[in-house]
Amino acid sequence: MLTTILFDLDGTLANTDPIHYQVWAELLESFSITLTPQFYNGHISGRRNRDLMVDLFPDWPVDRVDQFSDHKEALFRTRAAEKLRPLPGLLAFLDWLETQGLRYGVVTNAPRANAEFMLATLGLADRIETLVIGEEATAAKPDPAPYQLGLRNLGENDAKRAIAFEDSRTGMVSARRAGLYPVGVTTTHSAAELEQAGAKVTIPDFEVVLDLPPIREFLAQSASNGPVG
């Protein structure tokens, strides 16, 4: 029986990667680094800033890494303030989850300032029951720890009762390793890439989410039992 839904944030609740890409491209250009979609998708998307910065600038001390990261995310928030929109179908899906008595939360590698800003901008801050920040768990994605923490925060000890929605390969690996049913959202990576990382099924947005096999199974089970709660 399905009880719990956990969402990634960037690229899953809203298509933020075009904004992140633009900011990264401009900042890296000042270091004579030309960003490409292939490099972004393979080395930046879905990763914690500290981890990816080690690859980009291995000789930088931690304080410089953090300063650069803070600057980058501040630019993102400035540009995203007028551009963020929920992914199509998301708000209706959240309404449906609430009518069914399902619990849901967000699990992200984004910095807390970004995550709280995005949820507030999208009008979701008061609807999200738990917000798990990867760097505040014992390890960030692709480690399973953030998703395991999200399940505990929502009172679910059986990952087989939960679905994870993810747009990055890093997040997909995290959700799969934590034992959730992993669903890929193809805003950032292709269906084939997400399936290779472990997605059981992929969707372009939340307009078609109620057609997913685990959701259909839940509907069939709940037809005679009534809503979860």
Active-site positions read 8, 10
CB atoms within 10 A of CB 77: 17
């399940």: which residue's tokens?
151
Long-range contacts of range 155-162, CB-CB < 8 Å, 24 or more positions apart?
155/103, 156/3, 156/4, 156/103, 161/1, 161/2, 161/3, 161/4, 162/2, 162/3, 162/4, 162/5, 162/6
Return d(Cα 157, Cα 26) in angstroms, integer. 43
Q: Which residue from 180, 174, 189 is spatially nearest to 154, judged by alpha carbons?
A: 180
Beta bridge partners of 107: 132
Alpha helices in 103-212 (DSSP H): 112-121, 145-153, 169-178, 191-196
3-state secondary structure of 179: coil
In contact, 102 and 3? CB cutoff 8 Å = yes
| Helix orientation angle between 112-121 and 62-80, rounded to the nearest 10 degrees | 10
Return d(Cα 202, Cα 191) in angstroms, integer. 6
